[in-house]
Amino acid sequence: MAGGERKAGITRPHRRFTPLDLAAMPRAEVRKLVHALVEESGAEVSDYRRRADHDELHAEMELLWARRSIRVRVAARAVEPRDVVRFIESLTANGDVAGWLVAPLGTHGDIPVGRTVEVIGPEQLIERFEHSSRVAWTDQRPSVAMDRLAHQRALFEDARYLDPVGMRWLPVLAHNELPAELHQGGAAPQDWLERLTFRMLTHTFRLGGVRYGEAARGRRLPDALLRWPGGGEPLAALLDCKASADGYTMTADHYLRFKEYAGICRAEAQSTGHELRYMVVLSSNFAGSGRAHPFHARHKALTKDTGLSLAYVRAIDLAEAALSVERDEITPANRERLPWAALFDAGLVDDQHFHAMIESART
């Protein structure tokens, strides 16, 4: 939503996961989680070695115009000063640029601080887990989000040379996290999510519309108003983005805001001859399943109160659809004929609905 009330308060639940819980985790699980964090930073893990007192990940990343080697050592016991010294000696002997010494079981003694090695204690490691889009939480316990990780790996690889609008970042932002490339951008994940979603819809998919976003702070407005020809029946939709670590669930307050948006924005849509028909919510995921999914009750109520149909869209599905459009070089004219009404009519939109929409542009 645009306006003074930001959405950060609902997006990241409080975890009750302590250093004692971390210490009780199996060694292999901790190493896999660290592996996911390393890849999320932009490095590529090339090798893994297990030793009696540590696991070590060998990785490479692009620094300026060269590939550089780094090492991440995950200790299997409490880290002592001598462990840091030995790690520095190993890095020097192998010509690695830098290393990270992860200490899930904590440290003992006066740990030396240097530029070559950064020691990450249990509290810091837990914080990184909580802020990672590649870590899932079940019963307050972290694990690698394998399905999410597979999607993001494929998207990052395929979109590397076809991404003028940030499609590869969208799923990470939707989980309320900042990709490494955007850390210096000075904006929160929610703001980036709003900007890039609107840019993708208008540049890649060639929808029309107006973005309210940060420019309308202090006013109760959605993130954007979208317009498209609609096959001779000009249509419009309201768009609201919800960055959420564990998936979005509509609250009563959000529902009341959506009702307000319909009343405020309907006249603007009609001023250009477009019928306001949809309320589209984009997020990382949407909690629920089957007939008991809370979407159905919200959709029924919103249609009754405002005449708008509710549509839930996952960021990963929108990003993959945008990649498909760019990769297959679908013509501007065919992009403008995409049947968005059929997509949004699905309500709980998934990747198969996007696939069917894009296939229709090829025929």
Q: What is the 3-class SS of the chain, one letter each residue?
A: CECCCCCHHHCCCCCCCCHHHHHCCCHHHHHHHHHHHHHHCCCEEEEEEECCCEEEEEEEEEECCEEEEEEEEEECCCECHHHHHHHHHHHHHHCCCEEEEECCCCECCCCCCCCCEEEECHHHHHHHHHCCCCEEEECCEEEECHHHHHHHHHHHHHCCCCCCCCHHHHHHHHCCCCCHHHCCCCCCHHHHHHHHHHHHHHHHCCCEEEECHHHHCCCCECCEEEEECCCCCCEEEEEEEECCCCCECCCHHHHHHHHHHHHHHHHHHHHCCCEEEEEEEEECCECCCHHHCHHHHHHHHHHHHHCCEEEEEEHHHHHHHHHHHHHCCCCHHHHHCCCHHHHHHCCECCHHHHHHHHHHCCC
Query: pLDDT-derived band of residue 165, with 50, 70 and 90 as boundaries?
Result: low
Residue 8: predicted pLDDT: 40
Residue of higher predicted confidence among 47 and 166:
47
Architecture of 151-360 per CATH? Answer: 3-Layer(aba) Sandwich (3.40)
**Domain residue spans of the chain:** 17-139, 151-360
CB neighbour list of residue 193: distance below 8 Å, 6 or more residues apart: 170, 173, 174, 241, 243, 282, 315
> Of the given ranges (157-161, 266-270, 316-320, 354-358), which has the lowest mean pLDDT?
157-161
Mean pLDDT across the chain: 86
pLDDT at position 131: 84
Q: Is the pTM of this model over 0.75?
A: no
Domain pair 17-139 / 151-360, same fold: no
Q: What's the CA gap between 158 and 168, in Å, rounded?
A: 9
pLDDT band at 172 (very low <50, low <70, confident <90, very high): confident
Query: 18 is written with which tokens?
Result: 């302590």
CA 216, 219, 220: angle at the middle one, nearest 5?
115
pLDDT score recorded for residue 65: 62
Give per-residue pLDDT as tens, 125-153: 999 998 887 888 888 899 988 766 666 66
- Provide the percentage of residues in the chain whose pLDDT is more than 70: 85
Task: Report the pLDDT value the prediction gives residue 329, as an integer from 0 to 100.
Answer: 87
The CATH code of the domain at 17-139 is 3.40.1340
pLDDT at 159 over 60: no
